[in-house]
Structure 1
Amino acid sequence: MMQKVREIMTPAPVSLPSGATLAEAAKQMRDHHIGDVLVVDDDRLLGIVTDRDIVIRAIAEGSDPGRTSLGEVCSREGLTCVTPQDDAEQAVELMRSKAIRRIPVLEDGRPVGVVSLGDLALERDSRSVLADISAAPANN
């Protein structure tokens, strides 16, 4: 039987409203040991912001992390999403074809999880280097 996204996703994703600042998102990433925050308004997904987005799209361009909103920086266009009922292999193919590392999981248009490259590595080959890194405790 084919594995479903719900079996490998990280549930209860961290999310913030589009008006939250990059600094707030960075603190959430630090506190939850994650590399992304979903951007939502009224429980609807607007986009995703990664630690890389904060550095490359904002700070490196001179944006003030305490004043720049997530809505200004988040990836929105062509956002790739899956549902908990989708086959996990579909998430793998989407990541491969679109060269992305994280996919929001939506149910009835609301975010319920995230599938990351690390989640897939842990599930597919728990002895891989990526799985080891993904399973290791955070090094705060």
Structure 2
Amino acid sequence: MAQLVREVMTAEPVTMPSDTPVRDAAREMRDNDIGDVLVVDNGELRGIATDRDIVVRALADRDDLSTVRIGEVCSERLVTATPNEDVDNAIARMREHAVRRVPVVEDGRPVGIFSIGDAAMEKDPRSALGDISAAAGNR
């Protein structure tokens, strides 16, 4: 039987409005031991901001991050999945678009995140990526 995205996704993603300071998004990532936050305005998914986005699009170009907002550095070209979608279809789309994480959207609102780590832990938990993904964070 095919496995569904809802069975392996991380539920209840951290969401923030686009006018959130980048520093606040970085703190949420640190405090929740996650690598991304979803950018949502007026209930609509606008983008995904990863720890890499913050480094490459904000920190690398600016000395002062105090005025930078998460909406300025998030990725707006989104690849998404639905909770009732087959995991293999979502993985194929991630591979096709070379993304590591996809927001899981239901009725226009984000309900989870499906990552390459989630996929590895389900499909091949004894692989190096599965082991790394299952390990505790390195705070």
Paired with 1:71 and 1:58, the residues of 2 have a C-alpha distance of: 11
Paired with 1:62 and 1:130, the residues of 2 have a C-alpha distance of: 33
What is the RMSD of the two structures over their aligned residues, measured on CA atoms? Answer: 1.0
On the 8 A contact 1:106/1:113 being kept in 2, the answer is: yes
Deviation sequence 1:52-78 (CA, Å, 0-9, x none): 00001111011633320111111113x
5+ long unaligned stretches in structure 1: none
Paired with 1:72 and 1:66, the residues of 2 have a C-alpha distance of: 13
Within 5 A, what are the aligned runs for 1:19-38?
A: 19-38=19-38
TM-score of the two chains, using structure 1 as the length reference: 0.95
What's the % identity of the aligned pairs?
Answer: 55
Paired with 1:59 and 1:84, the residues of 2 have a C-alpha distance of: 34
Q: Give structure 1 regions of 4+ aligned residues with deviation exceeding 4 angstroms.
A: none
5+ long unaligned stretches in structure 2: none
On the 8 A contact 1:58/1:64 being kept in 2, the answer is: no
Paired with 2:88 and 2:52, the residues of 1 have a C-alpha distance of: 25
TM-score of the two chains, using structure 2 as the length reference: 0.96
SS in 2 for 1:37: strand
Paired residues in the alignment total 139
